[in-house]
Structure formats: C-alpha cells, structure tokens
Amino acid sequence: MVKIQNNNYKIHAVKPDLRYFRLIFWTLFLKEFKRLKSTYLQTIISPLVTTGLFLTIFNLAIGGAERGEVLNFPFITFCCAGLIASSVVNSSYASSSSSMIISKINGTVIDILTPPISPSEFVTAIVLGSVARSMIIVIFSVLVFSLFIDLPIYNFFYVFVFVFLGAFIMGSIGLISGILLDKFESQAAVTNFLIQPLALLSGTFYLTEKLPDIVQKINIANPIYHIVNTVRYGFLGASDTSVKFGFFYLVILSCIFWFVAYILFAKGVRIKN
C-alpha cells in the first residue's frame, strides 16, 4: 500500500488476505471438477472401458489360470492393478494438459492472467484437479473390476498416497506440456512418443526383470515405472522394485515438476505473448 505523507511517498507492506487465496484456489479447483463432470464419458467411462478391454483381451489371448502366477498372484489380478495405475498416469496427464490448451485455443487464458491470481494458486489448483480425476477413476475401477476379479487391497493408505503422488507428478507434467504447447496435435505427439513408451516399459503387464539389463537400468529413472509399481504394491502388497526408493523418488519428482510448472507460468512462457 502506498500512502502520501508530507508530499512523500511511503510504501507499507500489506499482508495478503488468505480468504481471497482460498476463494481463488477453490474456484479454480471447482472449475476443473465441473469440467470433469461435464465430460464424464471421456474422463471416467473411457478409462474403465479401455482397462476392461485390456483385461478381457489378455485373459482370452494369454489365459487366466493357465498363465500361472506373477508375484504370487493370478496374472489377471497382476495386470488389473497395473492397468489401474496406468489409467492414473494417462488421465492425470490428459486433464491438466487439455485444460491449459483449451484455455489457449478459446482465448480464456486471459481470464487467468488478468485477475490477481498467484502462480502457486493456479498451478496447485490445476494439478489437484488432475489428482481428483485420477482418484475418482481409481474408485470406480476398484468398484467395477472387483465384481469380476478377486482384486485385493493390501493397504488403503498406500493406495491413496501412491495414487496421489503419481497423479500429482503427471498432472504437473501435463500442465508443463499445456503451457509449452498450443495444439492438441502436439499434445498427442507427446503422449504417443513419450508417455506411452515410458508406460509400456513400466511393467504394467509383466515383470521388468524380463527386460534387457540396459533397459532395466534406464527404467530406474522412469517415473511411470515407479508409479505403476508403487500403486500395484498398495493393491497387492508385492512389487518387483524397492517401494521405499520409489516413494522418495516420486516425492522428489513431484516437487521438481510442480516447481517447473510454477516457474513457466510465473514467467508467462508461451502464454503472455
């Protein structure tokens, strides 16, 4: 605040009103949640159908009981836990990236830039909107597939924490992608040439010990590999990688990617111009 006293300007620091922070943050989060409800066929039903088709195809082509056990669980149960984790990866990335690109295409990004919205409010609200979408998909997936598959849940808290971290990371990566890209074609290219290859190497359908040694070493840096395996651990209580290392690695990556998204939005990269 600036005050004039005896023809002199004095600048006084004004404390930010947390009520406005909560209002702006909650409004942005609700916007993302309402977008989820309005497109439920694409955001909720579509991942369920895709996961169901994968399970059906693998069960028919490879066999259920004939395939044997993986990590002391039936193959179909092993795949189901991995596919649920994979749907978290795809949905959280698509949610934040499409939200930003739609705002650019429709020209509504100006509604975000002109009000007094801090970068931290915007980035956190968009990313948590992606997390909420992933949580809803996981809940519906568990309810639906438990009717057909004996899907155990080793620890609800582990499932929540690892789904949250995985969705937070992919939501941050999606927001970075949405800030840097201007077209859905570019978003699809990132998905096809980066996200999907990393997801296929993550061990969704198999144990990664079957891969060549060089690929296994590269996979250690693959965030989707740790997302899939830690979420699977929450369901099955078993994993082919170190869950403790995966947890700390995902926490570090979530902070890094959130900060990168924060810097890009704060500087207005490919937004303000």
Amino acid identity of residue 169, one-letter, is I
Q: What is the 3-state secondary structure (H, E, C) of 136-195?
A: HHHHHHHHHHCCCCCCCCCCHHHHHHHHHHHHHHHHHHHHHHHHHCCCHHHHHHHHHHHH
Among 100, 85, 87, smallest CA distance to 186 is for 100
* Pairing, β 73-74 against β 69-70: antiparallel
What separation, in Å, do the N-terminal and C-terminal C-alpha atoms of the chain show?
29
Give 175-201 pLDDT, tens digit per residue: 999 999 988 889 889 999 999 999 988
Q: How confident is the model at residue 3 (pLDDT cuts 50, 70, 90)?
A: very low
Measured between alpha carbons, how far is 229 from 84 in angstroms, rounded to an integer?
11
Angle formed by the axes of helices 223-236 and 243-267, nearest 10°: 130
DSSP bridge pairs for 11: 2
- Burial tier of 64 (Cβ tally within 10 Å: 0-12, 13-18, 19+): middle
Q: How confident is the model at residue 26 (pLDDT cuts 50, 70, 90)?
A: confident
Residues 6+ apart with CB under 8 A from 20: 116
CB 65 within 8 A of CB 165: no
Measured between alpha carbons, how far is 28 from 26 in angstroms, rounded to an integer?
6
pLDDT of residue 17 exceeding 60: no
CA dist 101 → 110, 176, 192, 197, 226 (Å): 13, 11, 17, 23, 28
Q: What is the mean pLDDT of the chain?
A: 86
Q: How confident is the model at residue 2 (pLDDT cuts 50, 70, 90)?
A: very low
Is the pLDDT higher at 110 or at 229?
Answer: 229
Q: What is the 3-state secondary structure (H, E, C) of 28-51?
A: HHHHHHHHHHHCHHHHHHHHHHHH
pTM of the model: 0.88
Among 175, 218, 204, smallest CA distance to 85 is for 204
Burial 154-191, CB ≥16 within 10 A → b, else e: eeeebbebbbbbbbbbbbbbbbbbbbebeeeeebeebb
Give 85-105 pLDDT, tens digit per residue: 999 999 999 999 999 998 888
Give 134-161 pLDDT, tens digit per residue: 999 999 999 998 888 889 999 999 999 9
Q: What are phi and psi of 3, to 5 degrees?
A: -120, 145
Judged by average pLDDT, the poorest of 109-113, 127-131, 255-259 is 109-113
Chain-centre distance for alpha carbon 25: 19
Q: How confident is the model at residue 62 (pLDDT cuts 50, 70, 90)?
A: low
Which DSSP symbol is given to 72?
Answer: T
pLDDT of residue 113 exceeding 60: yes
